[in-house]
Amino acid sequence: SARKWFFTVANRGNKIHQFYVGELYYFGINCNIDYHEAIKWYKKSAIQGYADAAYSLGVMYLYAEGTDECEVAAERWLMEACDLGSEDAKKLFLEFSNSSVNTNKNKQTQSIINFPAVRKNSCDINITNAKDNRKSSKAKIINLFSEK
């Protein structure tokens, strides 16, 4: 079956398939939605340098999907995604840093993003964009899943 094939390849360490297994759990495709499992698989993929996985982790930490809100982790994974070439992460990170630069840097995290302001002031635009990106991703995984 397609599910077995995705998991077999992901368990062998393929970062792209690890990302897609994370997507299956994130969207609940042929399984229940399970954000904890999605995070687990996204991390496996992101650690190997897959930009989409790092971006997905950053967004999940930013909006506390399946995890506690964690500004340090959100910024870490979004920056990692930027470094890996994710255009979505670059757009999101630039929007956040340009519109909400934290002039009183938190000395513990040295964050350049004022996360509470981002969550409050950018909800409409950024959540809509993130949802559009996720819908596109969901359509892609459904297509991939049905082809195998």
**pLDDT (tens digit per residue) in 72-123:** 888 889 889 999 999 888 887 676 665 544 443 443 344 445 555 554 444 4
Taking the C-alpha atoms of residue 70 and residue 11, their distance in angstroms, rounded to an integer, is 28
Of 38-42, 46-50, 87-91, 143-147, the one with minimum mean pLDDT is 143-147
Distance of CA 140 to the CA centre of its chain: 15
Backbone angles phi, psi at 101, to 5 degrees: -60, 130
| pTM for the full predicted model | 0.74
Is residue 46 within 8 A of residue 52, CB to CB? The reply is: no
Torsional sign, CA 18, 23, 24, 25 = positive
**pLDDT (tens digit per residue) in 51-78:** 999 999 988 888 888 887 677 888 889 8
Residues 6+ apart with CB under 8 A from 26: 33, 35, 38, 56, 134
